[in-house]
């Protein structure tokens, strides 16, 4: 199968499909995108999940898969719309009283492509470092973002947030948002 694959009656767009957009090096735009991701990471690192929901368009798609399943349509999680994401935010806000470990999201190596409709296709590397109860920090997850952003006022909103994790085996307690 080429551009699309069919899995369980759903058409799945491969996450690694090349963008048709033009790569931008515009310093002002790149700085705005970097700032967007810095604010995103701060929300997650500081447990501000209600604020995190504000980054998404009301019909946004959020998905997490691993490299092995990038083109198969198998997801660790896939949610559509902010209403579905509110459940995730409630869970992470401690609704089930999980103890949250300190963590840091490191987002870099941004590549921004401007699509013909003005949206931005952003590819970025991400590393999630967590500090355990013993005080030792370690890499918890690493991978890439393949996001689609639209302009919203002076900033952006996420239309699609697709995470591809590097590891084939995920951490046993993969409860953090990547």
CATH of residue 48 = 3.10.450.50
Q: Is the alpha carbon torsion for 38, 44, 48, 52 positive or negative? A: positive
Q: Which two tokens stand for residue 4?
A: 């699309």
Counting DSSP H helices and E strands in the chain, the numbers are: 3, 9
Full residue range of the structural domain in which residue 147 is found: 27-165
As a whole number of angstroms, the distance between CA 103 and CA 114 comes to 31
* Residue 69: inside a domain: yes
As a whole number of angstroms, the distance between CA 64 and CA 102 comes to 21
* Residue 15: inside a domain: no
174-to-100, 127, 178 alpha-carbon distances in Å: 12, 13, 9
Q: Provide the domain count of the chain.
A: 1
Q: What is the pLDDT of residue 6?
A: 39
Per-residue pLDDT of the chain (178 residues; tens, 9 = 90+): 333 443 333 434 444 445 678 999 999 999 999 999 999 999 999 988 889 999 999 999 999 888 888 888 888 888 898 888 887 777 666 655 556 678 899 999 999 999 999 999 999 999 999 888 888 998 888 999 999 999 999 999 999 999 999 876 666 566 666 7
Nearest to 164 by CA among 149, 178, 150: 178
* Residue 2: inside a domain: no
As a whole number of angstroms, the distance between CA 151 and CA 28 comes to 14
Q: What is the pLDDT of residue 31?
A: 97
Q: What is the pLDDT of residue 75?
A: 86
């Amino acid at each position: 199968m080429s551009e699309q694959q069919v899995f369980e009656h759903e058409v799945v767009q491969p996450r690694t499909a090349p963008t048709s957009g033009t790569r931008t090096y515009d310093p002002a735009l790149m700085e705005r995108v970097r700032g967007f991701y810095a604010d995103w990471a701060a929300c997650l690192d500081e447990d501000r999940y209600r604020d995190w929901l504000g980054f998404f368009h009301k019909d946004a798609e959020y998905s997490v898969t691993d490299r092995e399943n990038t083109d198969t349509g198998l997801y660790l999680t896939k949610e559509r719309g902010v209403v579905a994401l509110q459940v995730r935010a409630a869970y992470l806000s401690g609704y089930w009283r999980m103890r949250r470990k300190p963590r840091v999201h490191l987002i870099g190596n941004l590549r921004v492509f401007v699509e013909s409709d003005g949206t931005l296709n952003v590819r970025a590397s991400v590393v999630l470092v967590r500090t355990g109860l013993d005080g030792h920090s370690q890499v918890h997850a690493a991978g890439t973002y393949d996001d689609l952003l639209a302009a919203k006022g002076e900033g952006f909103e996420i239309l699609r947030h697709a995470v591809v994790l590097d590891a084939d085996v995920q951490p046993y307690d993969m409860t953090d948002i990547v």
